[in-house]
A and B are shown apart, each in its own frame.
Chain A
Amino acid sequence: MSVNTEKNSYTVVFAVLMVIVVGSLLAFLASALKPKVDENQRFEKQQNILYAMGVNDNEGEGSVNFVPTSEVESEFSKYIKEQLVIEGSEAKEKDNAYLIDMKKQLSTIKSGGNAELPLLIGEKDGKEYYIIPLYGKGLWDAIWGFMSVDENMVVQGVFFDHKGETPGLGANINQRFFMDDFVGESIMDGNSYAGIAVAKGNGDPLNENKDDNEVDALAGATITGNGVTAMIKDALKLYKPYLETIRKK
């Protein structure tokens, strides 16, 4: 017996069945893979944090290589000494503070609520690193990252990433030639927190001048660059009270 596929009732039944089948298939897949995906995201965050404090496998000039996923957990607990949550100039210890979602915290602050601001303290070769999470927006979508500073407020390393910046243009914020420029820049201008601006045509493409609070911009990615500048400024505004307590005058 052949079915009359032209009938309205058949069409409706087919549509409903299709939605149920496809929907449950995708829901099953998503929930089955969720633990694996969460774990990947956690490892990625640990890798990014370690990268920002200079613990990585970079070889040669062009590569951005993280600590391998298999070792990242042990390396993370080896280098990260303290995980804090900042409230004003006070800091409380908190387990797994690095998992706090900055996007949520920033929107809490915007709506006037009390946010938890994570800050990590790492130690490598006897030197302390204060690692600040960053979150902002680029041209198309979110950009984020981590920045580590020492007690003189000199940047020791950064890591940037993005959700949907243009490949070959804004997407290059996660490339070595851009991120390495930040190392050695001070976030202070005299006694005020100036941040680091991504500047066009500053006549310093090799970034030899480390006192100008500027790094050379990416060609063709003005808005992403401005986003990075704003993201650093915004984070400093929030962390300033605490940073003041650790800053060597």
Chain B
Amino acid sequence: MALLSKKDTNLILDPLADNNPITIQVLGICSALAITAELKASVVMAISVLFVLGVGNVVISLLRNIIPAKIRIIVQLVVVAALVIIVDQVLKAFAYELSKTLSVFVGLIITNCIIMGRFEAFALGNGPWKSFLDGIGNALGYGVILVIVGFFRELLGSGTLFGFKVLGDPVAKTGLYALGYENNGFMIIPPAALIVVGIIIWVQRSKNRALIEEA
């Protein structure tokens, strides 16, 4: 017997492409705009969302039969907030360097619509294992877009990747800069992320016509 049934596999694979939380459901855009100026921040954010959404979905799924419907949103918020604080504290104690990069963005996880969306739409109605897979899938779908956007913004905006100068030195004019290339300052401001996300949406829909809504 395979570890994952076909249905389970789809829970992970769907959000990566055809049901991507950012490009198809258009959720979590705000954090995608705010933090993708550097690739490292994108990766760190993706990993933390992976943890929060994976564990959070399981917790909500386990509690789904005893959560009072009237205060379910508050319960969900408390779960996200608690998980985010745990991530932050553990990082501060055991990976201090990383926690400094992360601390600005940790708060953004709480306001991430993808997380509340998955709690509400999936975990409240499904078992823990399925919810876990759904959480992992959606967090990966979110992370993939974040990394793609971060890659282009850091490369074109600063000429670096993970802080390494890949296009040469802009001040000493080496590499591409010797040929007259200039860093595109527009890429490091948030609106550029909107354009990159827009281009990803465009490419994705032109590859898969089924995603285009009827006018």
Contact = CB atoms under 8 A, between A and B. Distances in A.
A222 to B, nearest CB: 13
Interface stretch (B18-26, B50-58, B164-172): B164-172
Interface string B175-195: 000000000010011000000
Contacts of A6: 68-70
Contacts of A169: 37, 188-189
Contacts of B92: 33, 37, 40
Interface in B67-108: 67-71, 74-75, 78, 82, 85-86, 89-90, 92-94, 96, 103-104
Interface in A1-57: 3, 5-6, 10-11, 14-15, 18-19, 22, 25-26, 29-30, 33, 36-37, 40-41, 43-44
Q: How large is the interface on A (under 10, 10 to 19, 20 to 34, 35 or more residues)?
A: 20 to 34
Interface string A109-140: 00000000000000000000000000000000
B39 to A, nearest CB: 11
Interface in A173-202: 177
A43 to B, nearest CB: 8
Interface string B27-43: 00000000101100100
Contacts of B93: 33, 36-37, 40
B166 to A, nearest CB: 11
B37 A168 contact: yes
B67 A14 contact: yes
Contacts of B89: 29-30, 33, 37
A15 B104 CA distance: 29
A18 B171 CA distance: 56
B163 A168 contact: no
B134 to A, nearest CB: 23
Contacts of B69: 5-6
B164 to A, nearest CB: 7
Interface of B: 35, 37-38, 41, 65-71, 74-75, 78, 82, 85-86, 89-90, 92-94, 96, 103-104, 153-154, 157-158, 160, 163-165, 169, 171, 185, 188-189
